[in-house]
Structure 1
Amino acid sequence: MVTDRYGNRLYECTAEGAAHLDRAVEALLFFRSELGTAAADAVSAAPASPLAQAFAAYLGVLGTEPRDAVKARRRFADFSAGLDHSALPRRERVHMAAARACLAGDLRRAGRYLEELVVQCPRDPLALAVGHQLDFLTGDALRLRDRIGGALPAWDTDDPHRGPLMGMYAFGLEESGHYGRAREVALAAVEQNPRDVWAIHAVAHVHEMEGRFAEGIDYLDARLDDWASGNLLTVHNWWHYALYALEAEATATATRIYDAVLHHEGSAGLAMELLDAASLLWRFLLADLDQSARWQALADAWAAREDPPFYAFNDVHAVMAYSGAGRFDVAEKLIADRRRWLAEDGTRPETNHLMTGEVGLPVCEALVAYARGDYASAVDLLWPVRRRLHIAGGSHAQRDAVQRTLLEAALRARRDDLARLLVGERAGLRPDSPYNWLSQARVADSLGEAGRAAVARHTAGELAASAASRLSRASHHPYITGSRPAGSG
């Protein structure tokens, strides 16, 4: 029986299939663009391998693309039909069960299967990496942290693939609020593998959550050649850079990033990229910065997908796009469709069912209300769910677009007590954020505290200027100047 590079035995797998599986796992760990090709090669070389088939099934779900999931479900069903599951070794049997749960939409159950597997197989990088992504998709910060942290002692410090696991652990630490430790672990991971884009991404999240935008700009600029092109996180990490630019009040830089990377005529229309685009434009909308043409193009891209109910986090960002473009009829049609789906499938165990019912729908309704200028309704819809937004998936940084919507709505609805409380929460966590200081100034204005407002605006200006002074290298990068080579990702 052949084994993978980690010493795990592979059932019904050829040597060629094992080599492709190793390549696919490495691509998954490092977010390399060859991931899909490598996994497909593994299935072609070893079609009887349950692990290769499970890997392909995972990829059909992790991208949150409904059409990919449908294809993966069909392939997996064909393979499973003639398989004696009871004869499988435990590792393959659990991976098959986890893949089946993924394809059935029960992401949390799939994550639990993989968590149980890692107890006996802590050196199963596929179980760790897929489980980590499932924790991210379901917004489970504690599992995002502990799934990897518990397995790390089984990996020698000189193992070349311990580094990307450290990057995953760093992200889990950050999402759990352990910012200092997260930075330490992520920097160590990048030291081991300079092109570990998930670890670089973890550092970006730490700077975002601490409000240290000038330092974040410095860090991403210093490592620009390692993350800015040719990987599966290219768009998302540029999104982080654009967030820094917005805090620095460098809107021109943020829009150049949007046009060059986040959404343009050559964009693939993938959900993971479209939601970054919607999230950035929504922050422009909250700041009353007109982006009409960009909104229309983005709304067209979302509409072209015609997504069925699949992942509430995507639905939220589709509604952002429709509302930003003023297409309230389309947004309301999506909301009504999801309501019908909940009513028709009320007993389903799907993860997305919970996500949509508890968080997705009220957030979507609040976004429509906000874009229509009904700020009081937006507050009433968001206030009850503000501490449960993680149920719909994503990261703190991504969900902050919704948290900012609540704050902006409270300010505009003159819900001064709520606005003061929300600003206090934000400022306590991110005392160096220009946005938070400007929000403090607006609250002070509402309360008639002119002196306090003036001090807050001055502080915001100084912090923004400090961050803006760092924006240098990125503006000359080929991705921003429009001279990137074809196919560079």
Structure 2
Amino acid sequence: MTTDEHGLAMTGASAAAARHYDRAIHELLHFRAEVDAEATAALADSPGFPMGNVLAAYLDLLTTEAADARSARTRFDAFRRQADESSLLPRERAHLAAVQALLDGDLTACGALLAEITVAHPRDALALAAGHQIDFFTGDARSLRDRVGGALTAWHDDDRHYGHLLGMYAFGLEEAGHYDRSEEVGLRAVELNRRDVWGIHAVVHTYEMQGRFGEGVRYLDARLDDWSTGTFFNVHTWWHYALYALETGDTSRALGVYDAALAGGRTSMELLDAAALLWRLLLEGSDQPGRWRALADAWPPLVAEPFYAFNDVHAVMAYVGAGRIGEAEKLVASREAYALESRPGVTNVAMTSRVGLPVCRALVAYGRGDFGAVVDLLYPIRHRVNEFGGSHAQRDAVQKTLLEAALRGGRHEVARALVSERIGVRPCSPFNWLKQAALADALGDRATAAAARRRATTLTTTA
């Protein structure tokens, strides 16, 4: 019997396989592609290694792509058929159950099982990392915070992955609204590991939520070499950089980031970032037909079957942005049929029914110019959009769609409430004041509109 670098016993692994496993976890926490090679090497050395098979399954299942999930099922089923599970350690059997729940589409059960592993084995880095991603996919801010927070006291400053846990914890704190603490913890994480892209990401989210876009740009610029290349997370961080540019009204800079880093993506994560950026531009009246066409062309194989509602929404954005309303409606119809099927325990069914479909329908309505329908679809669900995953920053595309539809559709009372909410939370956001100005213009209140624009200009120039 071997142990991993954090002292947890593992069966079925040679010493070499265990070291490959440790290196795989290290690469996973850095979001580096080398994790796949190390995980493969571990299984090449010890094919029956339980935790190696568990790791390989998580790596495929957490991409949120159906094709990867099918590959994971084939390999994991083959492993379970030949494994003597009665001889495995309780922690290993618990991981097998968590993977099986994920294969079955039950994200909630998987997250709960991983939480039990973390309580019993708080130094299980894989359980923490996988559980953290499940919390992100389900939009569970409290668990994003407390899953890692509950394990921290079992770790020490001299553990080489302690900083990575702080990075995860900082993101959970940010999503749960603890911005001062999130910044403090995130900065500490990056101090311990300057290439901790998740820690950098947590700080960037914190600045976004506080409207500190100037600081965000300076923070990313100062650490460009640490986050911009070498990971499968750099595209997403560039997306955040572009959001900061949009906040200042610098559309050309945002499009420069798009063309250099986001265009040409192939994974769901890359494509949804691209769609989310172009959609924000579309809401502000900036049509990008060529960029939309290329993006819409890339989506069909990734949403050919229902798997994750969050991805579906961004595919619909791409279709609507490209003017392919028929394709968007076809995707919506397929998800409507899917939502009526009996699939007990499949989390995505509820995500699709409660959030995915209303948002997709609203996006199609927006593309048709039916702004009243957009408001009617989105306003009732605006406080539970988190149920289909993502972060506050990502889901803000939905909230901005609702606000813009209220403004364009003459729903002034709704628009007033939405703008008031945004200004109350982020008074240092130029975007929010510009929307206050747009509303005042619609109401004929030129003095208020002028004052709001002056406030936006001041915030932009002093950031």
Query: Do they fold alike, i.e. is TM over 0.5?
Result: yes
Structure 1 counterpart of 2:46:
46
Report whether the alignment pairs 1:227 with 2:227. yes
TM-score of the aligned structures, taking structure 2 as reference length: 0.98
* Counterparts of residues 64-463 of structure 1 (less than 5 Å): 64-264=64-264, 267=265, 269-343=266-340, 345-463=341-459
Query: Displacement of 1:448 after TM fit?
Result: 2.6
> Aligned equivalents of 2:303 and 2:424: distance in 1?
41
Instruction: Say if 2:28 is the partner of 1:28.
Output: yes
Q: 1: distance between equivalents of 2:306 and 2:462?
A: 44
Aligned length, in residue pairs:
463
Supply the AA of the counterpart residue of 1:436: N
- 1:13-24 aligned at under 5 Å gives the runs 13-24=13-24
Cα deviation, residue 306, structure 1: 4.8
Aligned equivalents of 1:289, 1:107: Cα separation in 2: 37
User: Retained in 1: the 8 A contact 2:303–2:312?
Assistant: no
Task: State how far apart, in whole Å, the 2-side matches of 1:2 and 1:294 are.
Answer: 51
Deviations 1:243-262 (CA, angstroms, capped at 9, x unpaired): 00011111111101101110
Q: What secondary structure sits across from 1:431 in the alignment?
A: coil
Q: Unpaired segments of 5 or more residues in structure 1?
A: 468-489
Q: Matches of 2:27 and 2:344 in 1, distance apart?
A: 34
Which residue of 465, 476, 479 maps to 2:461? 465
Q: Which of 1 and 2 has higher RCO (CA within 8 Å, sep 6+)?
A: 1
Distance 2:141 2:131 in 1: 12
CA distance in 2, matches of 1:328, 1:82: 49
Residue 237 of structure 1 aligns to a residue in which SS?
Answer: helix
Deviation digits for residues 82-117 of structure 1 (CA, Å, limit 9, x no counterpart): 223233211100111111111111111111101001
Whether the aligned pair in 1 keeps the contact of 2:339 and 2:349 (CA below 8 Å) is: yes
- In structure 2, C-alpha distance between the alignment counterparts of 1:135 and 1:426, rounded to whole Å: 25
Task: Give 1:442 deviation, angstroms.
Answer: 1.3
SS of residue in 2 equivalent to 1:105 = coil
Give the partner amino acid of 1:334: L
SS of aligned partner of 1:323: helix
CA distance in 2: counterparts of 1:89 and 1:73, whole angstroms: 22
5+ residue gaps in structure 2? Answer: none
Higher mean alpha-carbon deviation, 172-181 vs 5-14, is at: 5-14
Say whether the 8 Å CA contact 2:66–2:302 is kept in structure 1.
no
Please give the per-residue CA displacement for 1:310-338, whole angstroms capped at 9, x wherever unaligned. Answer: 00000000000000011011001001111
Aligned-residue offset at 1:21? 0.5
For residues 181-207 of structure 1, the C-alpha deviation after alignment (integer angstroms, 9 at most, x for no partner) is 000000000011111100000011001
d(CA) in 2 for partners of 1:306 and 1:120?
A: 38
1:166 offset after TM fit, Å?
Answer: 0.2
Measure the CA separation in 1 of the matches of 2:92 and 2:323: 49
* One-letter code aligned to 2:307: F
Q: CA 1:304/1:284 → structure 2, altered by over 3 Å: closer, same or farther? A: same
Three-state SS of the structure 1 residue aligned to 2:3 is coil
Letter in 2 for 1:326: G
Percent sequence identity over matched residues?
A: 57
Distance 1:209 1:373 in 2: 30
Summarize the Cα distance change of 1:305–1:347 in structure 2 as closer, same or farther, 3 Å threshold.
closer
